[in-house]
Structure 1
Amino acid sequence: MSVNHFDLLVIGSGPAGRRAAIQAAKLDRSVLVVERGRRVGGVSVHTGTIPSKTLRETALNLSGWRERGFYGRSYRVKKDISADDLRTRLHLTLEHEVEVLEHQFARNRVTTIRGSARFTDSRTVEVEGDTGELQSFTADNMLIAVGTVPFRPDYVPFDGVSVFDSDEILEISRLPRSMAVIGAGVIGVEYATIFSALDVNVTLVEPRDSMLDFLDEELLEDFTYQLRDRGMALRFGSKVKSVTRRDEHGCEIHLEGGRAVRAQTVLFAAGRMGATETLNLAACGLTPDHRGRLAVDPSTLQTSVPHIYAAGDVIGFPSLASTSMEQGRIAACHALGAPAQQPPEYFPYGIYSVPEMSTVGMSEKEVVERKIPYECGVARFRETSRGHIMGLESGMLKMIFSLKTRRLLGCHIVGEGATELIHIGQAVLNLKGGLDYFVENTFNYPTLAEAYKIAALDAWNRMGAAERLVAVEA
């Protein structure tokens, strides 16, 4: 047993662990990163964020999805798309991501070790390598950034051939003719729409009466209409009783109420669990919840054991790579006594579905619940010249403004480039800007960003009408 001591020991090299380790190294502290995967990067690089977004981009390119507004629904860049076509670009992208991360660690002198970590006490971690060798490390501060693993209930017969979880689906050997996706959360919706764009017949099954409840209702209505319009079947309010493999050609999902869904392939994407089971958390005085997640102080990321921090998906919502990075930075700074500015109140939430969606600030429902007098402005992408050039038939941008202060309260986008466009709304929102900024400023023409001005003018017209109505009533 060899013993080594570090200022910060990080378990996991995903977005939170990576950012924390590099931040600590920039503060001239000694850092060890323990990663149990084959290479650094964590879930984000190998099975989560980067792979799913790469799969999406590949699907849109090879299927000709973005050009169908001009050339028709039958248009395809590649006639017969195979699973190998999807994986080729995926592996090239992942290789590049890992090389960049390894170089970042090397040039910042961050020590990395591959193996499975477990606590032996609150300041000691034992790491078991591939061949069973054990090494013990101590640290003044620890960061748990192990991410999550798919939730795999007993009633689902996972086999990696016809029944997959959200990690296994990346290794699918052939594109099926039909797919049933169980779970209409972010992951389920993303994969369901990606495979639908590849002309796979998709059925989305969700026990709740709706999906993605945190989104603005008008945005969600537009998105739902687009899914149904292209033939996706939505089975909401349908709890799954069991899943059976009928034969090598398909599966059957039995729903409460007697209904059944048949598909060649099943993807179960209803939830994920914190990957804390093997950490022996009891030895360091921590207890995860029933989903393996850890509770932390949101401002410092400290657990109930002050020198042990946790960040990323393992602490739950919002479970975004972007917010996980900031959590890792804040945790490292607080642990090492460095000042850490808290991120702004509002951050963008991106959903890489087809079409993609992004939102920042309050939804219309939240504004109503807070009893804030408001008005909305909406722009359709087809109203912009850039939308015409791109052949867009759908997509919308919605902004919500306070009637009293004219400040922007929320921005919601569905359609091409939503996750890029949202940052204009994010900046104005966090800088406490409002309607006048969008009305008075000039946007490049022709661009989709011009939709901000169109939506603002729509709100300005409505607000003017509201003010005139108030004057008449007075």
Structure 2
Amino acid sequence: MQEYDLVVVGSGPAGRRGAIQAAKLGRKVLVIEQGKRVGGVSVHTGTIPSKTLRETALNLSGWRERGFYGRAYRVKQEISADDLRRRLLITLDHEVEVLEHQFARNRVQHIRGKATFLTPDTMEIAKDDGETIHVQGKSIMLAVGTKPYRPESIPFDGVSVLDSDELLDIQELPRSMAVIGAGVIGIEYATIFSALDTQVTVIDPKSTILDFIDKEIIEEFIHDLRDRNMKLILGQKADKVEKLPNGKCEITLDNGRRVTCDMVLYAAGRVGATDSLNLAAAGLTADSRGRLSVNPETFQTDVPHIYAAGDVVGFPALASTSMEQGRIAARVAVGAIAKEPPKYFPYGIYAVPEISTCGLTEEEVKERGIPYECGMARFRETSRGHIMGLNSGLLKMIFSLKTRRLLGVHIVGEGATELVHIGQAVLNLKGTVEYFVENTFNYPTLAEAYKIAGLDAWNRMGDLSQAG
């Protein structure tokens, strides 16, 4: 039986970052991956595929140029599912190649197979060739990620009723689609297919969407969606999904309303991929959604030498934060010092348009009773926005009236997930409104919106240098 300093189950963002971190510290590391190739959900069915699909859809549809040339403008008149898949395969091959090279360079061993606990420190690996091996880990990290929630009441067939994993293998683009679930995944795919001129309807039992995002940003986002004829049916639950004889699908809502479409995407949640691990043998128990509870500072589970990181521990379930969780968990697991990460991290939603946020929302600032002021800038106010033909896009910053420090930055529009990092840096460095007023930004750029929003807030707050 082979013994390792760290055994990592899963090679997604948390698993690979944790494994490489431990290897860089001179430890003997094994990664177990049950998928056909390394990379986990992030590379094969999640983050990378959905973002590649988004970029391909925007490029081929001519979406970014429609502000100049009209809504009928398209780069490619007839876009097929094969067009989308071709670029996807090229991207995935590159990601896997990079990851395999990182493992080899850092001497991380990896085995393809299904891992289950025999004891708290011993795992059995069932390989594809039928061989079964046992390994021991001084520490074990569970980074198994999540999989789509698939209730038995939904007639999934992989063709007209699909989950988000199956969506990547569709054979043709639907003329109409209903998305059940208005979470991050549902909204991302709904807006991507809308950009491909598919008629999209989003259904969710809650009356609001993306509640962790600043409400003003969501209002702007929803206005943009409705402006392009996306239908949002909120506060109504999908009671029944049926496949009709004519090949279409029908969704019956709890109020009797019916929605007919060519394709249904069920995206109402995900569950931790822990059901096959035999957690009981390790002394662990998952919650009703298959997730594991951990110490948020060390990522230790209830069993001290077993760690969990990434989507399997729940919110925020981002590739970026999963990587950091994996790194911290690995350092703690091998006895190295693990510094606490900066307080504020960005949240990116790769919808069309993008949304990105960092720090406190206006609602959170109000709850804390902090006197504040906001600064706003619309992308169309920037010269770069005019050059790009942008009709929408909003950057919002929130400042403390007492300290003048930036409390939160919230963006919806083109390039939001890139632009947010300027605000993130100022937040973590405890910068004030004066940073945006006094610094020079490249012209013309969308980043100039920071200066516009900063001046907007500064004008409302008053110039302290003139006080007294």
TM-score (normalizing by structure 1): 0.97
Q: AA paired with 1:170?
A: L
Aligned to 2:430: 432
Q: Deviations along 1:91-139, whole A, 9 cap, x unmatched? A: 0000000000000000110000000000000000000011322000001
What's 1:455 paired with? 453
- Aligned counterparts of 2:246 and 2:55: Cα–Cα separation in 1: 30
Q: 2:255 maps to what in 1?
A: 257
CA distance in 1, matches of 2:262, 2:403: 54
How far apart are residue 230 of structure 1 and its match?
Answer: 0.2
- 1:160-171 to structure 2, matched below 5 A, reads 160-171=158-169
Q: For 1:115, what is the secondary structure of its paired residue?
A: strand
- CA shift at 1:462, angstroms? 1.1
CA distance in 2, matches of 1:239, 1:447: 43
1:203 aligns with 2:207: no
Q: Please, which of 132, 137, 140 is the counterpart of residue 138 of structure 2?
A: 140
The 5-angstrom pairing of residues 294-313 of structure 1 reads 294-313=292-311
Q: Which of 231, 234, 248 is the aligned partner of 1:233?
A: 231
Identity of aligned residues (%): 71
Q: 2:318 corresponds to which residue?
A: 320
SS of 2:276's partner is helix
- The C-alpha deviation readout for 1:61-96, integer Å capped at 9, x for no partner, is 000000000000000000000000000000000000
Partners in 2 of 1:331 and 1:102 — Cα distance?
Answer: 22
Name 1:423's counterpart in structure 2: 421
Letter in 1 for 2:229: G
Matched residues in 1 for 2:152 and 2:245: separation? Answer: 19
Q: Does 1:111 align with 2:113?
A: no
Structure 2 Cα separation of the partners of residues 429 and 294 of structure 1: 30
Alignment partners' CA distance in 2, 1:429 and 1:101: 32
Partner of 1:309, secondary structure, is: strand
Cα distance, 1:247 vs structure 2: 2.7
Is the partner of 1:279 in helix, strand or coil? Answer: coil
Distance in structure 1 (CA, Å) of the matches to 2:28 and 2:15: 14
Gaps of 5+ in 2: none
Cα deviation code 1:259-297 (max 9, x no counterpart): 111110000000000000000000000000000000000
Please tell me the root mean square deviation across aligned C-alpha atoms, in Å. 1.3
Q: Give the SS at the match of 1:73.
A: coil
Residue of structure 2 in register with 1:243 after alignment: 241
Instruction: Determine whether 1:222 maps to 2:207.
Output: no
Tell me the equivalent position of 1:277. 275
Deviation at residue 36 of structure 1 after TM alignment: 0.1
Aligned partners of 2:463, 2:102: CA distance in 1, in Å?
55
How far apart, CA to CA, are the structure 2 residues paired with 1:412 and 1:119? 43
User: Is the partner of 1:161 in helix, strand or coil?
Assistant: coil
Deviations 1:354-399 (CA, angstroms, capped at 9, x unpaired): 0000000000010001010000000000000000000000001000
Q: Partner of 1:57 in structure 2?
A: 55
Kindly state the Cα deviation for residue 466 of structure 1 after the two structures are TM-superposed.
12
In 2, the alpha carbon distance for the partners of 1:376 and 1:107 equals 48
For 1:73 and 1:35, the matched residues in 2 are separated by: 45
Question: Which amino acid counterpart does residue 459 of structure 1 have in structure 2?
Answer: A
Instruction: Give structure 1 stretches of 5+ with no counterpart.
Output: none
Aligned to 1:39: 37
- Output the CA distance in 1 between the equivalents of 2:222 and 2:243: 29
CA distance in 2, matches of 1:467, 1:80: 60
- Return the match for 1:392 from 375, 390, 393: 390
Following superposition of structure 1 onto structure 2, how do residues 374-413 of structure 1 map, counting pairs within 5 Å?
374-413=372-411
User: Deviation of residue 342 (structure 1)?
Assistant: 1.3
Letter of the 1:253 partner, please give it.
I
- In structure 2, the partner of 1:349 is 347
> How many residues end up aligned between the 2 structures?
468
SS at match of 2:96: helix
Which 4+ stretches in 1 moved above 6 angstroms? Answer: 465-468
Shift of 1:316: 0.2
**Separation of aligned partners in 2, 1:467 and 1:103:** 55
- Following superposition of structure 1 onto structure 2, how do residues 166-205 of structure 1 map, counting pairs within 5 Å? 166-205=164-203
In 1, Cα distance between equivalents of 2:168 and 2:432: 43
Deviations 1:184-234 (A, max 9, x none): 000000000000000000000010001000000100000000000000000
Change (3 A) 1:22 1:360: same
Residues 332 and 321 (structure 1), Cα distance of their counterparts in 2 relative to 1, 3 Å cut: same
Distance 1:73 1:452, change over 3 A: same
Secondary structure class of the residue paired with 1:157 = coil
- 1:155 Cα deviation after fit: 1.2
* C-alpha separation in 2, matches of 1:7 and 1:389: 55
2:79 is the counterpart of 1:81: yes
Give the Cα separation in 2 of the matches to 1:4 and 1:250: 54
Task: Give the letter aligned to residue 187 of structure 1.
Answer: I
Q: Give the Cα separation in 1 of the matches to 2:20 and 2:463.
A: 53
User: What's the offset of the Cα at 1:425?
Assistant: 0.1
